[in-house]
A = this chain, B = another copy of it.
Amino acid sequence: MIRVVLAEDQAMVLGALAALLEIEADLEVVGRAADGAQALALCEELRPDVLVTDIEMPGLPGLELAAAVKAKGLATRVLILTTFARPGYLRRALDAGASGYLLKDAPSAQLADAVRRVAAGLRAVDPELAAEAWSEACPLTERERQALRLAALGRSAPDIAGELGLSEGTVRNYLSEAIGKLGAANRIEAARIARDKGWL
């Protein structure tokens, strides 16, 4: 019997996924969490074989959750289940020690199989996503990412300069760099592109 903990912030989806897994005779959902911190606590307490988790969750996001589980030396394998087909996410997930990366767009029948593969110590990664993951690395520097993230919220250059402790001119330089690297026409488009790729 494979013991599973589920983490997903949308309660309805959490319950539905649990129902889906419970159908399988060899799987057992032993814990459910609505956020990352709760999931981590459950993993420590219940020592499940597999943790199935979303990426975007309040508090502790899925990627950090995966890293935390590994850091604590738990034998629990992590399977990421997410909406986003973003190469950057997959790469970071694997870096964080995740064993699998499944898309919510994938057929529901694949979930149980992926859980079994991961429980057996194998990897379960969406194949077409894996291809571009290693090709497309994020070209932005840390500072450029920070500036772009704030710009995406509508902050002006002086605002951003204040929040990052930089000068206005430097902020414009970073944004200009980012715009150039991403082939965008302005900061708005650049932010869209970066978000879509998972580079935030």
Residues of A within 8 A of B (CB): 9-20, 22-23, 81, 83, 102-111, 151-154, 156, 184-192
Contact = CB atoms under 8 A, between A and B. Distances in A.
Identical copies in the complex: 2
Given A16-B17, A19-B23, A11 B105 contact: yes
B156 A12 contact: no
A185 B150 CA distance: 14
Task: Sort A-B residue pairs by CB-CB distance and give the 5 closest, nearest first.
Answer: A15-B108, A154-B189, A16-B16, A154-B188, A19-B19
Contact of A108 (B9, B16, B108, B192): B16
Given A154-B185, A186-B156, A12 B111 contact: yes
Contacts of A151: 188
Contacts of A187: 188
A109 B9 CA distance: 15
Determine which residue in A9, A14, A103, A108 has the highest number of CB atoms from chain B within 10 A of its CB, and name it: A108
Interface of A is mostly: helix
A106 B15 CA distance: 10
A48 to B, nearest CB: 19
Given A16-B16, A192-B153, A10 B107 contact: no
A126 B102 CA distance: 31
Contacts of A15: 20, 107-109, 111
A109 B151 CA distance: 40
Contact of A185 (B12, B156, B191): B156
B11 A13 contact: no
A110 B14 CA distance: 13
Determine which residue in A16, A17, A152, A186 has the highest number of CB atoms from chain B within 10 A of its CB, and name it: A16
Nearest to A111: B12
Contacts of A185: 154, 156
